[in-house]
Amino acid sequence: MSAKRNCFLYFSKAILVIGMLSCLRSYAQIKTDGSDQLAENLQKAAQNIVPDVVYIQTSKNIYETEEDVWFKGYVLDGQYFTPSMRSKILFVQLIEDKTENVVWEKKYEIENGFVDGHLFLENSLPEGNYTLAGYSAYSFLKEPKEFYALKKITIVKAISQRKNVGSSEKDNVLHFSTFPEGGKLISGIQSRLGFKAVNLKGLPVAVSGTLFEDNVPLLKFKSGHAGMGAISLTPLRNKKYHIQLNEPELATTFTIDTIHAIGKALSLIKNTNEALVFKVSQSDVLQEEKVYLRLQVRGIVYSIAVGMLKKELMIKIPLKEIPKGIAEVTLFNKDLLPIAERLVYVNLEQKLTIKPELDKIDYTKRERVNLKIKVTDQNDQAVIAHLGVSIYDGLYQNKQDAKNIQSHFLLSTQLKGNIYNPAYYFDEENKDRKETLDVLMLTQGWRNYVWNEENLRDFSNTMTPILFDEVKGKVQLEKPDNKQSTTATPKGVVVFAADDAKGKDLITTDEEGSFTITPDHLKKGENGYTYLKLMALPEPKYLMNVKKVTFEQINKNRKNKTVIYPFPEIEKVHTDESSPFSEREKVNKLNEVLIVAKKKMFRDKYIGKLDSLAKLNNDYVCSLNVLNCPNWVKHGGEITKPVEGKQYKIFTGSVTTNTIYHYRDYTEDELLKMFNLASVEGYYGKKVFYEAVYDDVTITDSTPDYRNTLFWKSDLVTNQEGEANITFFCSDIKSLFTGTIEGVTGDGLLGTQNFNLLVKK
């Protein structure tokens, strides 16, 4: 038998096919003993607990009060990142960070995995940092505890030139951790040792130091990006190792405690666009043994290699059919027990390439702008993509926010805990991003991977929904006696909205009197309420009880969640930051005018109609201006209806008094109960983003145009050639504007791109 033999077991979405395994210095066997079980164990643990993942893109980062926050919600399948068709409602809250008070909460319709939303910022909102949070039935669950569907924004009364603020203080207290590749250091086997240094706030600290062997300096090292790095060593069981940091200079030493006498080790040798190459090693005293190397991405097993390990075994895993993201590579022994694991980031270059092309270098006030967008995949092939596009004044950008669609789906939501500046690894200007990303994988530890088999098994028993897209209701007798069941016989329920043009639906209760209000029914009440009318005879009297989906469940469970938001990039202190904005006119807001309503206002015209019907009561006035005179009616006298606010006489026995007549005020709940109705709030209504249009006449209009967001579109879709063209007009603001484009394809490719647009005089 040849020492090099090609055999590779390749699983693509749980389908076994033949691939290639390159085995050096040993040989591999084509038998599949245990391979099926390793794949089945993981995928069985993952199959019923795949969540949806929510990402929120906003039109900018900083808002003034009395502005609209425009946002796009992406609701994607947690494994493939394709638009999810499961969730139908996105529950959205705006939360003040300082007080944790919810200042806004509404329901928004999810259409084929996307949400087109907005909310208005009242002038009464205090300045500060806020969090926009999104929850859906398949993304907000009892477990896991980590919650990622957040977008941080800042609200101010008026924008001003901002200074970058950072900390110049030295970190004298830090947490320094080491991470052996594969999980263990084995005596006599060369290994990589990852390290990470953070301060008490969890922010990275740059360090340098020395590794000592039996108190003799062995090698010097220093950290790279984000306080992380890796060193290579061949530890020996009979030696003692410790690390002494030189910068920052600390008296503390960090001991490397456990070095195993014998065992197996897993090392990543090469990570290219084509393949991964691993080296599996074991101690000399161990006998030759069959080993398995499994690679999985987001709960899907893509490859299992089988080989005979004597001393070293080189394994090559092709990456052509493996999706971009974090891969967990696990080494199993002959008994299918995991003995070493490693996280690896694969196919970093696999993404959407978004190319914005402006028709000019710079523009003047109110000038027309033509923007062409071209979207391709990593092979430069045109693709159809669903994009969110925003172009706004750069003064409203928070450059420290380290979150974008790629870092959110492909990194932050895949690992437990906060990650420092995750967008760094997806910025092609950072030439070391691939190397630093590998160090991040080395220092995270495989148990931080949310798709780790052990984590999946823990979740499988606790994946309980909190929210539901459907609303449940029940019809019951109001006052059942011993002879009557509390359960109603089947009844019809009419579903309608205040707008008659939206039509009516009829739903029927089951034998228990239960019925279901679907998302389509909530759509009927968009920007208002969906009403339910029970079709039943007056006697016996039935009641409808509707279990409304409220935000109380969200607030209750939100307190038990761990909010995960990326640590922002640390900026250096600038005492006198020069601004790129040479001139900016001040926008004077009108003073708020308080309008006192003289007429009672209802939430919609239908409730107002019910109020009018309720006022058609039995009160009457006789010709002597007496209110409710019984003798007059008995003798057939003429009567009229009383008028609100007029004075009438009232006979009480032999005493006559005067009174001002008022209709009774009913609450909305009283009106619904009076007419045997129920209501459920529908989706929050959509709003069209205002786009100014200028021609030869209107361009000279003296009315100031202070739009700081020139363009927003949440549902821009490219054509078959991957292209989309948009047109908009500049405002009167002379500034450097920022353009942000984010999006996803139908098969889960993600991309983001920023660009600048300069408006001069």
Distance CA 293, CA 301 (A): 11
Rg of the chain in Å (alpha carbons): 33
pLDDT (0 to 100) of residue 217: 96
Q: How far apart are CA 332 and CA 291, in angstroms?
A: 6
Sign of the Cα pseudo-torsion (474, 478, 483, 489, in order): negative
Write the CA distances from 307 to 42, 535, 753, integer angstroms. Answer: 20, 71, 43
Where b means 16+ CB within 10 Å and e means fewer, 100-116 reads eeebbbbbbbbeebbbb
What is the pairing mode between strands 312-318 and 275-282?
antiparallel
pLDDT value of position 665: 74
Q: How many domains does the chain have?
A: 1
| Within-domain flag for 543 | yes
Which pLDDT score is estimated for 622?
83
CA angle in degrees (0–180, nearest 5) for 176-182-186: 90
The answer as to whether 734 is a domain residue is: no
CA distance 142 to 328: 25
As given in the structure block, the two tokens for residue 742 are 């984010």
DSSP element (H, E) containing 57: strand 52-58
For 517, the domain range is: 471-482+498-548
51 lies in a domain?
no
Q: What's the CA gap between 423 and 744, in Å, rounded?
A: 17
Which DSSP string do the residues of 365-381 spell out, in sequence order? TT-EEEEEEEEE-TTS-
Distance CA 528, CA 312 (A): 68
Strand, coil or helix: what is 215? coil
With beta carbons less than 8 A apart as the criterion, state whether 243 and 209 touch: yes
pLDDT reported for residue 750: 98
Written as one string, the DSSP assignment of 327-368 is EEEEEE-TTS-EEEEEEEEE-TT-S-EEEEEESSSEE-TT-E
Q: Is 257 exposed, middle or buried (0-12, 13-18, 19+ CB in 10 A)?
A: exposed
What is the C-alpha separation between 40 and 34, in angstroms, rounded? Answer: 10
Q: Are 130 and 97 in contact (CB under 8 A)?
A: yes
Cα separation of 54 and 609, whole Å? 40
Task: Indicate whether 531 belongs to any domain.
Answer: yes
Whether 507 is covered by a domain: the verdict is yes
3-state secondary structure of 326: strand
Pick from 471, 508, 507: nearest CA to 489: 508
Confirm whether 514 is domain-assigned.
yes
Query: Which portions of the chain are predicted below pLDDT 50?
Result: 1-31, 165-168, 572-583, 585-599
What tokens does 501 get? 């043009």
103 inside domain = no
Q: What is the structure's pLDDT at 696?
A: 86
d(CA 513, CA 676): 16
Look at residues 317, 346, 345, 348 and name the one whose alpha carbon lies nearest to residue 331.
317
- Helix, coil or strand: residue 159: coil
Question: Are 182 and 341 spatial neighbours (Cβ–Cβ below 8 Å)?
Answer: yes
pLDDT of 206 reads: 94
Residue 48 domain flag: no
In what side-by-side order are the strands of the sheet with 228-233? 174-180, 191-199, 228-233
pLDDT of residue 652: 74
